[in-house]
Amino acid sequence: MTSSRSLVSLSAPEAALRVGPSSVVMLPIGAIEQHGPHLPLDTDALLADAAAQQLLDAPPPGVDLWGLPLLAYSASEEHLFSPGTLSLSEATFLAVIDDVGRSVVALGARRLVLLNGHGGNTALLRVAARKLRLAYGLLVFLMHPVLSADHGGPTGEDGEFGLGCHANAGETSLMLHLHPDRVQMEKAVSNVPFFLQGYDHVGLGGAVTFGWSAADFGPSGVIGDPTLATAERGKELWEAVIRQLGASLVEVARFDFPGSVLPVGAPR
């Protein structure tokens, strides 16, 4: 992270002087995991870091934003069937987030944003946000550069029928826009899980969800249709992502619980 708003670029006395209760500290979180035959293992890390960099280079007006270095590794057990995937256990991942949150409290900040680039982290990070709140009084917010359909995000591009959620058209389009040299479109394969259309209640992001490995959807590791991706679509999606994240940070910076009596920095 090279931005002047990078927390680690400060000296300790500078950090103590410049970061305080009104600051927002942001931790980008990625993953190292298979993304089919056409995208690199660090796709989620690249997207989370790119979003963080752009927000830090031009913070929303009135937001005292500071960025932590990217946490590239996270919880990716659903992709461990594929060579190259590197995963922290759920316990290790939660412990790391707790340690980071405790350190942010010690710095004097009250707001921590978890900028999550990997859908498989979402449920764990919701738990982590609550635990950090209860343990330290920290205000913790979970934000996503890209929220996949299986976690309540947009239902995907036309042709995916709301069934694309990994290495799919949207994710591939973003990579074509941001890192076209890292995309091998000639190797992209469509793998839309049309069998899910046979269920009214059970589904990705439906009323009834289910545990899964990416291997359950086939050997490619793709869930969706990346052959539909274009750089032009990626540019549109990315501009919308940055607008939404910027507007969200403005609200994060002023959010508080008006009636809370929970102490800050006091373990419970």
In tens, the pLDDT along 183-220 reads: 999 999 999 999 999 999 999 888 899 999 999 999 99
In tens, the pLDDT along 83-133 reads: 999 999 999 999 999 999 999 999 999 999 999 999 999 999 999 999 999
Assign 268 a pLDDT band (cuts: 50, 70, 90). Answer: very low
- Per-domain residue ranges of the chain: 23-250
Name the pTM for this structure.
0.95
70 in Cβ contact with 32 (< 8 Å)? no
* Phi, psi angles (nearest 5°) of residue 187: -100, 0
Assign 25 a pLDDT band (cuts: 50, 70, 90). Answer: very high
CATH 3.40.50.2300 at 23-250, yes or no: no
pLDDT exceeds 60 at position 267? no
Residue 147: what pLDDT?
75
Residue 151: what pLDDT?
66
What is the pLDDT averaged over residues 40-51? 98
